[in-house]
Amino acid sequence: MKIALINENSQAAKNEIAYNTLKKVVEPKGHTVYNYGMYTPEDDTQLTYVMAGLLSSILLETKAADFVVTGCGTGEGAVMAANAFPGVLCGHIVDPADGFLFAQINDGNAISLAFAKGFGWGAELNLEYIFEKLFQGEKGQGYPKERVEPQQRNKKILDEVKKVTHVDLLTILKNIDQEFLKTAISGPKFQEYFFANCQDQEVADYLKSVLN
């Protein structure tokens, strides 16, 4: 699985700890982590949490990533932004139980973490335990077991609802503010990671035209 990490500007200083902790947990399971930044608060590309939501959709809809880890100060803005775009089912995760239940019941493809609120002593341990429970075995297996069938059915219904309630990604990319889009995709590693993994040539071509 290709897992993308995206940090917005207010919490860019937490990127290194999030990246190292995520790698520690998921790489032994055979997953690959792609760090899309921000890497430091001083980065030239200043991502907002709305941009993080847009990037989440671009990566997931084109299959450049299979899962996105993002967040903001409270995690609330990033989860709202992510779910505003097509192809993203993002949960707000605070503790390891959230991580486990979101993976097994909701079977989403993105999480939003609080990188400021409650992020104190031992925060890296909480992150580690969240990632362990989130990426523990096969997702979507339900909890408790007697609720598996309705939970899986509701997940399929939500997938279909998202298709109806959102226009396609390319339409959004063409109609969204182009400077906003260009800033969102101008990170130093975006071109290296995205274009190597993107499986939607039409979207790739359009983003190349925006960057150029």
pLDDT, mean of each 10-residue run, the chain (212 residues) = 98 97 98 98 96 98 98 98 98 98 98 96 96 96 94 95 94 98 95 97 98 94
Pull the structure tokens for residue 89: 């089912």
Determine the pLDDT at residue 17: 97
Determine the pLDDT at residue 6: 98
Q: Which residues contact 130 (CB under 8 A, 6 or more apart)?
A: 93, 95, 96, 98, 99, 113
Among 20, 84, 79, 85, which residue's Cα sits nearest to residue 59? 85
Query: Cα dist. 107→48, 71, 175, 211 in Å?
Result: 26, 18, 30, 33
Please name the amino acid found at residue 47.
Answer: L
Determine the pLDDT at residue 206: 98
Determine the pLDDT at residue 29: 97
Determine the pLDDT at residue 108: 98
Alpha carbon dihedral 35, 62, 60, 149, in 10-degree steps, equals -150
- The CATH class of 2-211 is alpha beta
Instruction: Return d(Cα 171, Cα 184) in angstroms, integer.
Output: 17
Determine the pLDDT at residue 40: 97
Tell me the whole-structure pTM to 2 decimals: 0.96
Determine the pLDDT at residue 28: 97
Backbone CA torsion sign across 154, 160, 165, 166: positive
Task: Give yes or no for a cis peptide into 51 (omega within 30° of 0).
Answer: no
